[in-house]
Amino acid sequence: AQSVTQLDSQVPVFEEAPVELRCNYSSSVSVYLFWYVQYPNQGLQLLLKYLSGSTLVKGINGFEAEFNKSQTSFHLRKPSVHISDTAEYFCAVSEADSWGKLQFGAGTQVVVTP
């Protein structure tokens, strides 16, 4: 069975500073990897995804993530955050034979302060 671990439950960060959100997964088969964002009082929306090919994936709003198969990680980064990046971020995994079903991590709350 697959599992997803987000190593930080909350990450405080100052505006214009970089941020990294860590995600590790475990699975016995090939996986697809995703980051979703949930802004306050909203549903989730896709930030970026890794299906195949280049291990560095760029998403919306200046975010990027790198798939590291040997370390089973998919960490999310942004070089300079804005106040509007305050949100909860979820890492998710889909096993290649699971027809697109997602297993979500517990989430990381990012709080950006001036």
Partner 1 sequence: DADVTQTPRNRITKTGKRIMLECSQTKGHDRMYWYRQDPGLGLRLIYYSFDVKDINKGEISDGYSVSRQAQAKFSLSLESAIPNQTALYFCATSDRTSGSVGTQYFGPGTRLLVL
Positions touching partner 1 (CB under 8 A) are: 4, 6, 9, 32, 34, 41-46, 49, 51, 90, 92, 94, 99-102, 104-107
Distance CA 32, CA 11 (A): 25
Shortest CB 68 distance to partner 1, Å: 19
Shortest CB 28 distance to partner 1, Å: 18
Q: Which is nearer to partner 1, 58 or 101 (CB)?
A: 101
Question: Would you say 46 and 36 are in contact if contact means Cβ atoms under 8 Å apart?
Answer: yes
Shortest CB 103 distance to partner 1, Å: 8
Q: Tell the residue number behind the tokens 């990897």, with chain if given.
A: 33
CB atoms within 10 A of CB 32: 17
